[in-house]
Structure 1
Amino acid sequence: MLKGFRDFISRGNVVDLAVAVVIGAAFTLVINAIVNGFVNPLIAAIFGEPDLTQVASFEINGAQFSIGLILDALFNFLCVAAAIYFFIVIPINKLRERKAQEPESEEEAVPAEEILLLREIRDELRNRV
């Protein structure tokens, strides 16, 4: 039971996923700080409100509705998604493309001895026919 758990934890993809979650959370905090500290006040100033969440707020029978709160959440999501895409996804994809385009090393270019032997046998059989 413990061996299975250890194998599960030590798999590369589980560790990579854990690192991605931690970095994503930290990155989200940075983007949210930029959005909440600069962008939201700028947009709120355009609408004449102190905060984006106060834009298009209204009350009906004591129930408070806030379209601005929804807009704030959508805007934060779009900013975080755009930042992750442009600063993480695109650079990683470019690195993968470069790795795929790199020429094979000489060790990979030289076929194994068994392959060479099989090719010789194939060539001999072709010459006999």
Structure 2
Amino acid sequence: MNAPAIDSLDTLRQHIRAFAQARAWERFHTPKNLAMALSVEAAELLEPFQWLTAEQSQDLSPTQHEAVRQEIADVLIYLTQLADVLGIDLLEAAADKLDINARKYPADLAHGNATKYSERSDD
């Protein structure tokens, strides 16, 4: 079986919807269940990195890379499905959140520092 051609979030959403409909799974895909499934998949994304150093995590073996790739796909699928069920446009929501973050973390105050700028003491 060949993977479907997916070139946009809308196409992905349509394929996910069709996949669920073909299996009559819609009744199970409530926002609560999808949020829980998303959380499980996000946790599974941690597993390939569990005992790696920061440096090792940047140089994954092909097997590790594929495991991460698969888990990222699961996260994206559940996130897309949850957004679809709730009527949320993912790209619009992401753009809005980037705008909020740009105001919340101005580059001149947050640049090069992992500590939230509003929690730093002036040294």
For the superposition of Structure 1 and Structure 2, which TM-score range results when normalised by the shorter chain? under 0.3
Report which structure shows greater RCO (CA 8 Å, sep ≥6). 2
| Larger helix fraction of residues | 1
